[in-house]
């Protein structure tokens, strides 16, 4: 229940509906409200889409009113209650399923709703998991889970993933919480994640927001280790063709669409750095300020997105008080709150994406055909950075060393200095053969992404085969016996 999950799920529902079946989206009211306009536009154009919501039991779970997505969960105590509220949705979800006509042919459920496994069994509806990760990440996950290589190393000791197609070197302090839970141990996150893992392994298959040409070796490897089916149907963001859909994707943007496009139109082609660190803010204010100073030092036009929370308040005061705003006038566009990310990335003036490497953002950067400046912060982001930097060779790291785990706000002070930001921007946007080749590779991946979703492209064919498998019920009710043994 965070933007990185519900945004691609809504895109997937639209994509399925564009290909024939009726797609019913079941979510909670605040999330539904963020997509109401998009869905209304889609249904008005004739797409068979339905948006239903279940009341989110905030009060029953002891959550403050409006705490309905992970963006507003700010402490381990709230997280525990938030998990509790998601569990409470099971009963109303079952009631809704009983009433739903016609009965669904198949359920595609976000991987972090593991109780849906029992519900699907109860109603004898085949269940597919929607996983927001890449196959590269899934193989890293599988390798860590099986080899446990990270268990015998110190926090900052480098280790390579064993028997891996590429040489991927990480440290334990860069791993997602499952492998390095930190202070979240007390919230039973480990047990929850184990249930997620089993529910995923028990599902009839996995739908992924990726495309085969991007990571074909990893798609093949994942097909080998996973007994169920894998459908790579992305990049899902490309199903948004209409500029209003792009501008309103995920939430109402904090900047007027016309104003934003006008500013971008005034910049030279390929000259702008777009900097956005995702939907959940974890960096400290001094670190965010250092990022701003790095953008200033780069001497290039930039769009800088700052989340609208308390930290942003301090950063905003600094922006105005320190004279930063005046110094970057005309060449710096600051968006405070929600940015229309895909609309911006699609604009020809954008020449680089400074990203936290959330999987959606990474893939949106790939679609835009621009090189990336990578600044991973938590979860799977350090692993995605390796895909971009080492495998695709389209990114340059700012050199972040350790994950900021949930609720452990960045204590390292200013770990990434402004010069590191400037240097990484220079390496992706500047002159020289290496930079030119990187930009060419990024452009080629962008073209491949677009081809994958066109009629006859790999993802387009995978969507059709997913629909056919669902309709013919060939996916059955669960994994093969071989696969069960892997659990």
User: Which C-beta is closer to ligand UDP: that of 2 or that of 423?
Assistant: 2
User: Which C-beta is closer to ligand UDP: that of 228 or that of 278?
Assistant: 278
Binding-site ranges for ligand UDP (CB under 6 A): 2-4, 7, 249-250, 276, 278-280, 305, 338-339, 341-342, 358-361, 364
| Least distance from ligand UDP to the Cβ atom of residue 345, Å | 8
| Least distance from ligand UDP to the Cβ atom of residue 16, Å | 18
| Least distance from ligand UDP to the Cβ atom of residue 249, Å | 6
Name beta bridge partners: 171: 158
User: Which C-beta is closer to ligand UDP: that of 335 or that of 466?
Assistant: 335
User: Which C-beta is closer to ligand UDP: that of 249 or that of 427?
Assistant: 249
Burial of 409 (0-12, 13-18, 19+ CB in 10 A): middle
The residues near 185 (Cβ < 8 Å, ≥ 6 apart) are: none
User: Which C-beta is closer to ligand UDP: that of 347 or that of 422?
Assistant: 347
User: Which C-beta is closer to ligand UDP: that of 373 or that of 470?
Assistant: 373
User: Which C-beta is closer to ligand UDP: that of 139 or that of 342?
Assistant: 342
């Amino acid at each position: 229940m965070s933007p990185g999950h519900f945004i691609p799920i809504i895109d997937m529902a639209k994509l399925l509906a564009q290909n024939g079946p009726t797609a019913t989206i079941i979510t909670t009211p605040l999330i539904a409200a963020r997509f109401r306009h998009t869905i209304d536009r889609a249904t008005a154009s004739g797409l068979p889409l339905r948006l239903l919501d279940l009341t989110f039991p905030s009060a029953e779970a002891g959550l403050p009113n409006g705490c309905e997505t992970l963006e507003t969960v700010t402490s381990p105590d709230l997280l525990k209650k938030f998990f509790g509220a998601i569990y409470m949705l099971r009963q109303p979800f079952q009631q809704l399923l009983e009433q739903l006509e016609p009965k669904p042919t198949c359920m595609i459920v976000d991987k972090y709703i593991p109780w849906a496994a029992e519900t699907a069994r109860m109603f004898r509806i085949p269940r597919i998991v929607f996983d927001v990760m890449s196959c590269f990440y899934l193989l890293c996950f599988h390798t860590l889970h099986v080899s446990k290589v990270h268990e015998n190393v110190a926090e900052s000791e480098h280790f390579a993933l064993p028997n891996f197609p590429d040489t991927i070197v990480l440290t334990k302090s860069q791993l997602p919480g499952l492998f390095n839970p930190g202070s979240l141990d007390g919230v039973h996150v480990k047990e929850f994640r184990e249930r997620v893992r089993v529910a995923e392994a028990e599902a009839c298959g996995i739908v992924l927001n990726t495309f085969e040409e991007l990571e074909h070796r990893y798609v093949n490897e994942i097909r080998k280790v996973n007994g169920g089916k894998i459908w790579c149907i992305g990049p899902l963001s490309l199903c948004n063709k209409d500029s209003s859909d792009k501008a309103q994707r995920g939430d109402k943007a904090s900047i007027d669409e016309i104003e934003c496009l006008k500013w971008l139109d005034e910049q030279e082609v390929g000259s702008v750095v777009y900097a956005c660190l995702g939907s959940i803010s974890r960096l400290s204010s001094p670190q965010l300020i250092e990022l701003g100073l790095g953008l200033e030092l780069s001497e290039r036009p930039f769009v800088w997105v700052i989340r609208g929370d308390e930290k942003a308040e301090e950063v905003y005061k600094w922006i105005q008080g320190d004279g930063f705003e005046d110094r970057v006038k005309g060449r710096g566009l600051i968006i405070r709150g929600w940015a229309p990310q895909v609309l911006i990335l699609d604009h020809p003036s954008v020449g680089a994406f400074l990203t936290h490497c959330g999987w959606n953002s990474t893939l949106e950067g790939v679609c835009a055909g621009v090189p990336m400046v990578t600044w991973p912060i938590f979860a799977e982001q350090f692993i995605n950075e390796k895909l971009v930097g080492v495998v695709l060779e389209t990114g340059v790291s700012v050199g972040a060393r350790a994950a900021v785990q949930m609720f452990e706000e960045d204590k390292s002070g200013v770990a990434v200095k402004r010069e590191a930001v400037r240097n990484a921007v220079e390496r992706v946007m500047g002159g020289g053969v290496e930079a030119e080749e990187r930009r060419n590779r990024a452009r080629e991946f962008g073209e491949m992404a677009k081809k994958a979703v066109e009629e006859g492209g790999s993802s387009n064919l995978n969507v059709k085969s997913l629909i056919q498998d669902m309709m013919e019920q060939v996916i059955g009710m669960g994994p093969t016996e071989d696969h069960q043994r892997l659990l």
